């Protein structure tokens, strides 16, 4: 899928994640997100099991540490053969560049393709009020996200994770070819839960998203395949 809809496998165990994937007739057509909850519970073995089903994998661990630590972690994670990986953009240009080096080195050693490196900007759970009064950032949200995206691009990242609300600003300010992954996706009939900056798949597509992530509206739905098809149809237009 050129512009994937990624399903967030936010399950407490590998058994539950694999049971969920078994409900699809062709899991090899899926792109899935493995985040902290599942990876910290199961470790690298869950990546191997999901890869065996043929899924593309977005490993979302948001690495955030000193550059050398991030480089060494990235080098090892690249050997797992995942397709996408994240660092936190607030770690700065040196850290992002170190992640890029680690991914490239690890992938070369393992004989696999290096993952697409994405820098997380501001989480979709962060509101303007939190940005200003807790993070003490004077910039408006869109300008803050743009600043982080420019830093990430200059340091060798392939794209960023951002909300749909910043897409227009980013697409207007940055060159073509940068990858925009958008979480916080909800259809109008689904609740926003703990997300603050949300939008529909259609809105994300029309404003230049490269990929979207959908979690609970699909994984917690009694009719999983039908929910996935609804979101996919809206995303593909």
DSSP character at residue 165:
G
pLDDT computed for residue 20 by the predictor: 98
Q: Is the pLDDT of residue 1 over 80?
A: no
pLDDT computed for residue 123 by the predictor: 83
pLDDT computed for residue 31 by the predictor: 98
pLDDT digit string, tens, across residues 115-142? 999 999 988 788 889 999 999 998 989 9
pLDDT band at 177 (very low <50, low <70, confident <90, very high): confident
**Cα–Cα distance, 82 to 49 (Å, whole number):** 12
Catalytic residues: 62
What's the token pair of residue 202?
């259609």
pLDDT computed for residue 9 by the predictor: 98
Residue 215 labeled ligand binder? yes
pLDDT computed for residue 45 by the predictor: 98
Residue 66 labeled ligand binder? yes
Residue 20 labeled ligand binder? no
Structural domains present in the chain = 5-236 (3.20.20.70)
Residue 71 labeled ligand binder? no
Chain length of the chain: 237
Q: How many CA atoms lie within 13 A of 159 on its CB side?
A: 21
pLDDT digit string, tens, across residues 178-211? 999 999 899 987 665 555 567 899 999 999 999 9
What value does the mean pLDDT of the chain take?
94
Burial 128-149 (b: 16+ CB within 10 A, else e): eeebeeeeebeeebbebbbebb
pLDDT band at 103 (very low <50, low <70, confident <90, very high): very high
- Chain-centre distance of CA 227, in angstroms? 20
Q: Is the pLDDT of residue 56 over 90?
A: yes
Residue 27 labeled ligand binder? no
**H-only helix segments in the chain:** 14-21, 36-42, 44-52, 67-78, 93-110, 128-133, 141-154, 167-173, 201-206, 216-219, 224-236
What's the token pair of residue 54?
């043929």
DSSP character at residue 73:
H
Between helix 141-154 and helix 93-110 the angle, nearest 10°, is: 50
- CA geometry: angle at 78 spanning 73 and 80, to 5°? 110
- Asked whether the whole model's pTM tops 0.85, one would answer yes
């Amino acid at each position: 899928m050129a512009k994937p809809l990624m399903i967030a496998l936010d399950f407490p165990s590998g058994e539950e994640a694999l049971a969920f994937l078994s409900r699809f007739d062709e899991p090899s057509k899926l792109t899935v997100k493995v985040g902290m909850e599942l990876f910290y519970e199961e470790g690298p073995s869950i990546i191997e099991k999901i890869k065996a089903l043929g899924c593309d994998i977005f490993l979302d661990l948001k690495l955030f540490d000193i550059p050398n630590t991030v480089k060494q972690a990235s080098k090892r994670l690249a050997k797992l053969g995942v397709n996408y990986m994240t660092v936190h953009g607030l770690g700065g240009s040196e850290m992002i560049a170190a992640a890029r080096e680690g991914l490239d080195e690890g992938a070369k050693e393992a004989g696999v393709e290096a993952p697409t490196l994405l820098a997380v900007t501001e989480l979709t759970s962060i509101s303007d009020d939190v940005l200003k009064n807790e993070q003490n950032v004077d910039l408006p949200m869109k300008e803050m996200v743009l600043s982080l995206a420019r830093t990430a691009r200059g340091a060798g990242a392939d794209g960023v994770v951002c909300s749909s609300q910043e897409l227009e600003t980013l697409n207007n300010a940055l060159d073509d070819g940068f990858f925009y992954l958008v979480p916080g996706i909800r259809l109008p009939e689904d609740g926003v839960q703990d997300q603050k900056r949300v939008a529909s798949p259609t809105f994300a597509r029309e404003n230049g998203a490269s990929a979207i992530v959908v979690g609970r509206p699909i994984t917690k739905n009694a009719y999983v395949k039908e929910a996935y098809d609804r979101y996919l149809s809206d995303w593909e237009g």
